[in-house]
Structures are given as C-alpha cells and as structure tokens.
Amino acid sequence: MCTCITFINRDFYFGRNLDLEYSFGEQLVITPRRYPFFWSREGKTQEHYAMIGMGAAEPSYPLYAEAVNEKGLGMAGLNFPGNACYQPYRENMKNAASFELIPWILSRCATVREAEEQIRNLNVTDESFAEHMPPAPLHWMLADRERAIVLEAVKEGLKVYENPVGVLTNNPPFDFQLANLCNYMNLTARPPENRFAGELRLTAYGQGMGAIGLPGDASPASRFVRAAFLKENSVCGQEEADNVTQFFHILDQVSMIRGAVVTAEGKYDITAYSCCVNADRGIYYYKTYENSQIQAVDLRREDLNREDLIRYPLEREQKIRYIN
C-alpha cells in the first residue's frame, strides 16, 4: 500500500508514502553519473544521469523504491499484487528486469517524452535480483513538470496511461482509478449548495460540508480520491518551506497509522517513510514513522562524478525540541 503524488507550485515536486508492515532496510541512495550499471540484458552503462532516492540496503546496487534524476524526472514503484505480470526474455524487444526499471529509465531519460521512446517495445522481465529476492509486483508512476504517466506490466503486456491527476496508489488498475473519480465530481472545498430540494431551506451547519462523501478509509481507491481532491484544492505560498510543508500535509492525509490497517497475516501496515523531492533543485526531503522531523539531502552538494554509491542511513529517532 502506497501513495505517490506530484505537485507544482513554482518548483516541481515528486514524492510518496511508502506503506509496509516491515522495513526493507531502506536508505537514502545517491547514484553518481559514473556508477557502472550492469543491466540484466544490455551490458554495461558507465556514463548516465545522476539520481537520488530511497533504496534497499543492498551495498552494490541501487534498488530504488523511488528516485528523481538530476534532470527533474521522477519515478516510483508501488505495490500492484494480483495484476502485475512480468514476462520471460523476448527477442526483438528491449528487455529490462522489474528491479532495475527505475534506474534503467532515469539513467538515460531527461523527460517523460524521452522515456516514452525508451519504453516503446519494452518487455519487463521476471528475472530476480537475487535468489532470495523474487520480483516485487509493482506498477510505476513517471513524471516531470509537464506530464505524468503510469506503467503497468500486466498479462497483456506493458500498458502506458496518461495520468492527468498526478496521483497513483495500488490496485485496481489505473484506468479504474481514473474513472472512479467521476463518482466524486460533485465534491467541493467550498460550502455546498442546496441541490437536494429547491423548496426546502437547507443550509450547511458547519465548515467542510461540501466534501461530505470524500472517502476516509485506507483502501487504494479511497486514498487515490482523497489525495487527488486535496492536491487539486491545495493552496500555499511559493517558498520552499511552504511547498515542502504542504506536500507532507497532503501525504499525511493518506498515511497509515499503526493498528488502523491489519494485514491478512495479522501484521500492521504503517507509513514507513514519506518523501518529497524538489525535482528542480535535486533536494530529497523525508520523514519516517518514528521521526516526524523533516530531513533533507541535496543531490547537488555531492560529487556527482564519482563511481561509487553514496548512502545515508535514515534518521529514525524522534527529534523533540524543548523550548523552556
């Protein structure tokens, strides 16, 4: 369970909640321009765009959950069980394994348009990163400041959807999520008008009643609607702190609180971390379930011509500032 959003208010922002019942050893990972990628089917790439994102604690490879490259293109993988379907290697097609798809695209593409050219005739393969790490069932949102698209590798092949909302959650497939918004087109952030019966003098008795019917549960379809509504009605200043704060407020409204969602195995889904990346400036902001203070790492403060990965462990201890 996860929620990914885009946000434009002078600068372009890309980020997500990652919701899981366990930690996958996530760390903030910077891949410099000269880190050697050994692709599962394409050999080696030595020169590419630098990128920053959250990845598994795998010392030799950036297994990104999401990342943004130095050109401002962002990509995130979200859980898509029961629908994701990867294929064996296919001749006469481009082939990329699901675990490498984020760096495969971000290393070579500066825009969504360029990515569309790369994924034309692309086969997402079912190869595992390691024997003990089978492919995760995912779909992906890919976005720059101009456009967002969704990639879904399903039984029929790789489907690409235009995403005018700039929001992605999990199941059902994206075309359902987009059509489902029509069920909520009468919601408004403003006071409601009386459409029930013209002859009855009905008036709102409190603030926020124009959005009665906005779903509040944690299901993917409900989070999609809620995130889209909050994003579309968002108002904030244009300074960096204003935008970052607003971005996290939106993500907070679709986050998982321990105990509110119990999995079939009796475990608790939580928002392990939330992130917001200023894609124009290359600044990655994050907070964790345990530590609500926003941390930041600036891609452009690093030596991006290195050949080795740069890693930052997450700051998980809660930071409380006493003022007396």
Q: Collapsing DSSP states into helix, strand and coil, what is residue 115?
A: helix
Active site residue 182: no
Q: Collapsing DSSP states into helix, strand and coil, what is residue 315?
A: coil
- Residue pair 24/132 in contact (Cβ under 8 Å)? The answer is no
Torsion, Cα 190 191 193 197, to 10 degrees, reads: 140
Residue 261: DSSP 8-state: S
Please give the full DSSP string across 14-49, using - where no structure is assigned: EEEEEEESS----EEEEE-TTPPEEETTTEEE-S--
Which one is catalytic: 2, 4, 109, 276? 2
- The Cα 246–Cα 258 span in angstroms is 23
- Residue pair 51/63 in contact (Cβ under 8 Å)? The answer is no
Of 55, 4, 2, which Cα lies nearest the Cα of 279?
A: 4
Q: Collapsing DSSP states into helix, strand and coil, what is residue 123?
A: strand
- Residue pair 73/144 in contact (Cβ under 8 Å)? The answer is yes
What separation, in Å, do the N-terminal and C-terminal C-alpha atoms of the chain show? Answer: 40
Of 282, 240, 276, 244, which Cα lies nearest the Cα of 31?
A: 282
- The Cα 87–Cα 154 span in angstroms is 9
Q: Count the helices and strands in the chain (H runs, E runs).
A: 5, 18
Active site residues: 2
